[in-house]
Every structure is written in C-alpha cells, then in structure tokens.
Amino acid sequence: MSTPRHAPARFARGWHCLGLVRQFTDGQPHEIEAFGTKLAVFRGQDDGRLHVLDAYCRHMGGDLAHGTIKGDTLACPFHDWRWGGDGKCAAIPYAQRVPPRARTRAWTTLEENGQLFVWHDPQGNAPDPGVTIPRMDWIDDEASDWSDWSWDSVLVEGAHCRELVDNIVDMAHFFYVHHSVPTRFTNVFEGHVATMYVESTPRRDSGMELIGADLSLRSDASYHGPSYMIDRIWQPLGDGTEAESVLVNCHYPVTADSFVLMYGVRVRRLPGMTAGQAEEAAARTAQGVRAAFDQDIEIWRHKTRVDSPLLSDGDGPVYQLRRWYEQFYVDVADIEADMLRRFEFEVDTRHAGEAWEREMAANLGRAGAPGTS
C-alpha cells in the first residue's frame, strides 16, 4: 500500500483570486484564511479601493477582520489602532505618536473581471508585468449581452491544489468521472499559460441529468498562472446556433493540504432571451459545474499524492504539465527554460473512443435486457 506524501509547505507565486469584488464592498471587513495565515479585506470609505492586510494586529494580536472600517483605515477591535491600506499604522487615538515601526503586511491587489486578486510571492518580489490576469473585454464592453457572474466556492480539505491543475491533462477521467467522451484533447503550455482544448460528446450510458449533459461541447480552457483558469465553452443547439458561456475556475491555498475552489459562470444571451433568463441559465450551468467539481472532490478525498505516476500511452502529458507548474514553486532565479518553453501534445483519442464505445454499448445492452433495471 502506498504511503501518503504530504505537499510541500511553499505556496505558489502568482495572482490568486479571493472572490468577486462585490463580496467585499458591503462596508464591513472580511476575513480570508489563505497562504497559511489570515487576511483582512476592506474597502476604504474615502478612496473606494479594496485593501488586503495581514489580519492580526502587530500591537497585541487583535483580529482586524473583526474590526471597524474608519475612513481609509481598518481599526483593531482590541485597542483601536488604525491601519491604512498601505500597511502603516495611521493613528492610535490614545497615544501621542505612532511608533515608526508600526507597520503590517499590505498585500498587492488587482481588480479584474469583477474579481479581487492578491499577489503572493515567497520571496517578496513585486508582480511581473508580463504575468497578469487577462481582461475579458469580449464580455465586459458597454454593449455586453452576457449575464452577470453566478459564483460559488467550496473548501477542499486533504488535497493539494495540484490535483485540480492536473485535470487539464487527464483525458481519461472525463469519461470515468464526468461521464463525457473526449473526441479531441490537446494541450499547449507556454510561458505562464497552460491550455486544454477539448471537444466531447456525452456518455450515452451514464443516465446523468447534469445541466448540459445532453449536449456536445467545445472548450478552450487556459490557466493564466498557477491558479486562475478561463474556460470558454460552446455547445451546439441543433438549429445552427451555439450556446456560449464562460467558466472561471480559480483557487487559493489555505494550508499545504487544503484550498478554496471557486468557480463562476456567465452565459451569453441567445436571440429572444431576456436578461433574467440569461441569469437563470447561468445559475443552472453553475449548478452543473458544482456537480462536476463534487465528483472530482470525492476522488481527491480518498486518493493519495503521487509525485511520480506510472503512465500509459493513453495518458496526457502529466510530467510536462507538472514541469510547467513547478515554475511557480521555485525562486525566480531557479526558473529553467524548459518550464517556459512552448510544448504541444495531442492525445490520440481513437483507441480510447473505440474502447469506450464498446463499454457504453455493453452497459446499454445490460440495462435493456429482461429482468434488469
């Protein structure tokens, strides 16, 4: 029996999404357990900006996430020390002066696509301008015919977030876990971006009733850095038109062996569809996404970490993906050329498709035989 191997305690360098901007703009501070610590998120009353600080006050350890927003500062509930978004203590009401060393960690933030991001780097380096979160101009222009985000999150315990990233090269699990049949499966890795191109049809023997399970689809899904994926999805409707949606799949680590998985869906309005109907369609699609992630999470809950998997010729480029992924876990000076070099790989789906077709036919035959159900 294999022995579980724990994930390394280092967290990935890169932009990590903490959630939708609107989640943090209610006039209250919010707490986030991430990167082995606690963060406090607040919106300044005067500057209107979202700020992220280490949550525990440097004075006597009060929890700033349980404090009060006063102007552009976050006041500690213990002694009312007031911390600015830049990490400096701006005031101590009962003291004549603020100690010069009264500073806490202020996290670098980014607001993009209606979401809040923080930059994490174990070395403390500023973000590389070339490694950023792309703006979805195609759904956020003034004439947008897209729904708003239907958004949800789940805490995944007992698993490193690499398990989630591995999915983009794991063709076979789509059949066995998600009840779909990939007919095209291609990966391209280059720089800080890793992409999966998929075309698939539904399993005819699954009996699944997930939203969209009766439709084939085409998906272009790219990780931009270690934790933020944009997945564009097209589904034919049979009348020559396509249903178009976008799925954001993102996460941030809580501990070395747990992470918060978040996902959001936006749906493009079809001709004749009202804005309200588009919102309903996005919510239904998000329910289907949650069902699929629940299938993954159930696998992760019971599996062990395998750093050197034994692969077959029908598997995807697991080692190449993990080499790409390694760039986010080493010092910048230790990033090697092959972690960034362009790599392309297309899985030959023909043999798998023939085997799966036989399996589905056999399952359907048994289901239709007398005395079976």
Cβ contact 187:317 at 8 Å: yes
Rounded distance between C-alpha atoms, residue 75 and residue 52, angstroms = 13
For residues 115 and 176, membership in a common domain is answered with no
For residues 116 and 183, membership in a common domain is answered with no
CATH classification at residue 18: 2.102.10.10
Q: In sequence order, which ranges of 259-330 are alpha helices (DSSP H)?
A: 275-302, 318-326
Domain boundary among 120, 137, 160: 120
Which residue type occupies 94? Y
What pLDDT, in 10s, does the model give residues 270-315? Answer: 989 999 999 999 999 999 999 999 999 999 999 999 999 999 999 9
Residue 307 resides in a domain = yes
Domain total of the chain? 2
216-230 mean pLDDT: 97
- 3 pLDDT band (50/70/90 cuts)? very low
Chain-centroid distance of CA 222 in Å reads 11
Burial of 271 (C-beta count, 10 Å sphere; 0-12/13-18/19+): exposed
For residues 90 and 183, membership in a common domain is answered with no
Q: Is the pTM of this model over 0.75?
A: yes
**Cβ-count burial 212-249 (b if 16+ within 10 Å, e if not):** bbebebbbebbbbbbbbbbbbbbbeeeeeeebbbbbbb
How many residues are recorded in the chain? Answer: 373
Burial of 124 (C-beta count, 10 Å sphere; 0-12/13-18/19+): exposed
Residue 237 resides in a domain = yes
For residues 172 and 60, membership in a common domain is answered with no
What are the backbone dihedrals phi and psi of residue 154, each rounded to the nearest 5 degrees, phi first? Answer: -150, 140
What are the backbone dihedrals phi and psi of residue 45, each rounded to the nearest 5 degrees, phi first? Answer: -75, -25
For residues 167 and 109, membership in a common domain is answered with no
CATH classification at residue 210: 3.90.380.10
Residue 70 resides in a domain = yes
Q: Which residues contact 327 (CB under 8 A, 6 or more apart)?
A: 192, 335, 339, 340
Domain boundary among 85, 120, 155: 120
For residues 246 and 335, membership in a common domain is answered with yes
Residue 62 tokens, joined:
């009060």
For residues 226 and 356, membership in a common domain is answered with yes
Q: What is the pLDDT at residue 331? A: 97
State the CB neighbour count (10 A cutoff) for residue 345: 14
Cβ contact 217:288 at 8 Å: no
For residues 182 and 38, membership in a common domain is answered with no
Q: What is the pLDDT at residue 1? A: 37
Residue 2 resides in a domain = no
* 237: nearest Cα among 219, 217, 220, 221: 217
Residue 160 resides in a domain = yes
**Cβ-count burial 136-155 (b if 16+ within 10 Å, e if not):** beebeeeeeebbbbbbbbee
Res. 103: pLDDT tops 90: yes
Cβ contact 21:115 at 8 Å: yes
For residues 352 and 210, membership in a common domain is answered with yes
For residues 219 and 109, membership in a common domain is answered with no
Residue 168 resides in a domain = yes
Average pLDDT, the chain: 93
Residue 182 tokens, joined:
């990939």
What pLDDT, in 10s, does the model give residues 147-191? Answer: 999 999 999 999 999 999 999 999 999 999 999 999 999 999 999
Beta bridge partners of 73: 70, 84
- 370 pLDDT band (50/70/90 cuts)? very low
61-88 mean pLDDT: 98
The CA–CA distances, whole Å, from 216 to 176, 201, 243, 269, 356 equal 17, 4, 11, 19, 16
Residue 300 resides in a domain = yes
For residues 159 and 270, membership in a common domain is answered with yes
What pLDDT, in 10s, does the model give residues 331-363? Answer: 999 999 999 999 999 999 999 999 999 999 999
Q: What is the pLDDT at residue 213? A: 42
Q: What is the pLDDT at residue 5? A: 52
Cβ contact 211:285 at 8 Å: yes
Which domain does 306 fall in, by range?
146-362
Which one has a higher pLDDT value, 1 or 108? Answer: 108
For residues 33 and 159, membership in a common domain is answered with no
Residue 3 resides in a domain = no
Rounded distance between C-alpha atoms, residue 233 and residue 223, angstroms = 15
Rounded distance between C-alpha atoms, residue 50 and residue 7, angstroms = 32
